[in-house]
Amino acid sequence: MKKIFLNNIIIILLSSVFCQFSDYTETVHFNVSTDRENYRSGESIKILFDFDIKNKFHIYSSDINKAPIQGETYTEYYDSTLFDDIQHIIEPETITKFDPNFNQETSYHEGKFQIYQVAILNDSITPSNYQVEGTVYATACDPIQCIRVVEDFYFNVNVESGEKREEFVFGITESSNELKRETDKGFIPFILFSLGMGFLALLTPCVFPMIPITISFFTKLGEQAQSKEENSSIKPTLTPLSAATIYALGIIVIFTLLGLVLALTLGASGAQQIAQNPWINLLIGFLFIFFAFSLFGYYELQAPQFLTRYSQQQESRSGYSGILFMSLTFTLASFTCTAALVGALLVAASQGEYFWPIIGMLSFSAAFASPFFLLALFPQYLAKLPKSGGWLNSVKVIMGFLELAAAFKFISNSDLVWNWNIFDREVVLFIWVLIIFLIALYSLGFIIFPHDTKPEKISIRRKILFSFTLMFSIYLSTGLFTNKVFTGNNSIFKVTSGLVESYLPPPKSSSMWIEDLDLAYIKAKENNKPIFLDFTGYTCTNCRWMEVNIFEENDVKYLLNKFILTKLYTDGKEEIHQINQKMEVERFGTAALPFYVVLSPDD
């Protein structure tokens, strides 16, 4: 009797399972296709799955973290010789709700939608027409029941003869997948995420050179406006608030448009190519020198006469053009170190996606520009204070010295790319030591500029400035005799030394880093070690900061010893640098610098 009862139970269970596997045909429909008709060995193929889910059913995400246990959507292919790699599924934005079937929050798709995978054809595949077979696995649920979907599929791949075409070599990278995870969260969360990344980017060393530039430019602008207001009954139309607003909006619009236009025309790293160009760096360096001597009082920066000759309206226009030129300079300087989010957004834009890159770039640059709005606003109001002439002129001169120091940072960038070996670390550091020492002499009145009057007595403010700049000059000079400015055991010294060294060219010393990826593979196999790839740039300040601060930590040194250390420069003028840049964009889906990758010895 028990045996008969058990047999009946087994039959009922098997029938239930059979019904589950046979009911989905009226609920889940899909077609499989590929992105083009003909392929060549080594090229990428996009496999498209167009779903149509009916009867109030839905199927779950391909992400195991968003689906019930073993309920995710996935594929299986039976012929592994055709492809070198089949990458993870890319899916559209999911619906996330509490699922009563599993008593948890899940993400799913319903109605009509498309998912796809990217596969890399074998380099040695012979030209022919191949049939690929596979199976789609999914779980389809409605509000009261779930059924398991197991559906076979096939499609044809026609492989023709010829060299692989670079425009058809692509992949889905972890970087692009991370970007998609952020966009899947929705419009407002993505804006907040982009704003947060913009504020974080303000903490990087790349931004700091633009602080004295901004202050000095708008200090002089405010002084000129105040002078015109005192000598004329007509108030200038370019108020401090409007000037600061134009500067901030200029940064936002130019940063977004320049990044996206260059990504569409020159590729994902187009903005970096412009910003890292040695001619651009040389131009910025000479502009800073030119502007520094204007701050010293040797000449006035005047807009072209044809812009200012006739009316106040034209005068306003000429002011706008100067401010927007500063916005452009700021943007070029900041693009030398592209942040992680911006790098992923530019790759997405270069591949034809527009909505999320535009939203992301606008949000990122809005956060990036916000403190510079305040830095542009305050100096103009300071110029309006009573008796501001004497001390404000001293502020301008000091800012001129700082601009002079910043100029040699950009000139040394050109030196590094062109390999002049003139403005190396020791030369640039010596110039900085000299400039800071000159500020010390200026504070005591030993150096007089055209708009200065020799102080009758040295004020306490000047004495404090002298003491600080003299000590800082001596402190910087310690780096002339070693490979690093003095750090000691004090955290303040360590932070200061790290910042200073990040702006300097790298020291000439022996290095354990290899700059040849092919050689790195050989050494990795010989030593059975993974490869640590460092995508970096000659002009990348943030890269240098990581090298002189993080890589020098004892715990990090210990970990790096377990790798074959490989440094790939992306901003030089040789062919290998272009290859490195292309690999970062196409294989890893980002143009960010610095960018780190760990590879196994077999790639």
pLDDT digit string, tens, across residues 408-435: 999 998 998 888 889 999 999 999 999 9
Provide, rounded to the nearest whole percent, the portion of the chain with pLDDT above 90. Answer: 32
Q: What integer is the mean pLDDT of 49-59? A: 92
Q: Which of 3-7, 26-30, 60-64, 599-603 has the lowest mean pLDDT?
A: 3-7
Q: What pLDDT digit, counting tens, does each position of 203-254 carry?
A: 888 787 788 888 888 887 877 766 666 565 555 567 888 888 999 999 999 9
**Through-space distance between the first and last CA atoms of the chain, rounded to whole angstroms:** 63
- pLDDT attached to residue 20: 44
Instruction: Please say whether the dihedral angle defined by the alpha carbons of residues 550, 555, 556 and 557, taken in this order, is positive or negative.
Output: positive
Q: What integer is the mean pLDDT of 279-299? A: 88
- pLDDT attached to residue 237: 62
pLDDT confidence of 390, banded at 50, 70, 90?
low
- Between CA 35 and CA 549 the distance in angstroms is 46
- pLDDT attached to residue 302: 55
Query: Taking 50 as the threshold, does the pLDDT of residue 10 lie above it?
Result: no
pLDDT confidence of 98, banded at 50, 70, 90?
confident
What is the three-state SS of 500-527? Answer: HHHHCCCCCCCCCCECCHHHHHHHHHHH
The alpha helices in 89-209, defined as continuous H runs, are 174-183, 187-201
- pLDDT attached to residue 3: 43
Query: Taking 70 as the threshold, does the pLDDT of residue 8 lie above it?
Result: no
- Residues with Cβ within 8 Å of 293's Cβ and at least 6 positions away in sequence, in order, are 299, 400
pLDDT confidence of 510, banded at 50, 70, 90?
low
Query: Taking 60 as the threshold, does the pLDDT of residue 21 lie above it?
Result: no
Closest C-alpha among 181, 172, 174 to residue 86: 172
Q: 158-182 burial by CB neighbour count: b if 16+ within 10 A, else e?
A: ebeeeeeeeebbbebbebbeebbeb
- Between CA 486 and CA 465 the distance in angstroms is 21
Q: What integer is the mean pLDDT of 186-199? A: 88
The alpha helices in 336-354, defined as continuous H runs, are 340-350
- Between CA 388 and CA 278 the distance in angstroms is 39
- pLDDT attached to residue 385: 61
Q: Which of 167-176, 279-288, 320-329 has the lowest mean pLDDT?
A: 167-176
- pLDDT attached to residue 89: 86
Q: What integer is the mean pLDDT of 54-74? A: 88
- Residues with Cβ within 8 Å of 182's Cβ and at least 6 positions away in sequence, in order, are 189, 190, 193
Closest C-alpha among 410, 398, 470, 385 to residue 434: 470
Q: What pLDDT digit, counting tens, does each position of 457-477 carry?
A: 888 988 999 999 999 999 999
Query: Taking 80 as the threshold, does the pLDDT of residue 120 lie above it?
Result: yes
Closest C-alpha among 125, 151, 126 to residue 138: 151
- pLDDT attached to residue 427: 95
- pLDDT attached to residue 436: 96
Phi and psi at residue 535, to the nearest 5°: -80, 120
pLDDT confidence of 9, banded at 50, 70, 90?
very low
Q: Which of 88-97, 267-276, 528-537 has the lowest mean pLDDT?
A: 267-276
- Residues with Cβ within 8 Å of 544's Cβ and at least 6 positions away in sequence, in order, are 205, 501, 502, 503, 504, 506
Q: What integer is the mean pLDDT of 523-547? A: 91
Quote the mean pLDDT of the chain: 82
Query: Taking 60 as the threshold, does the pLDDT of residue 505 lie above it?
Result: yes
Query: Taking 80 as the threshold, does the pLDDT of residue 443 lie above it?
Result: yes
- pLDDT attached to residue 429: 95
- Residues with Cβ within 8 Å of 100's Cβ and at least 6 positions away in sequence, in order, are 143
Query: Taking 70 as the threshold, does the pLDDT of residue 275 lie above it?
Result: yes
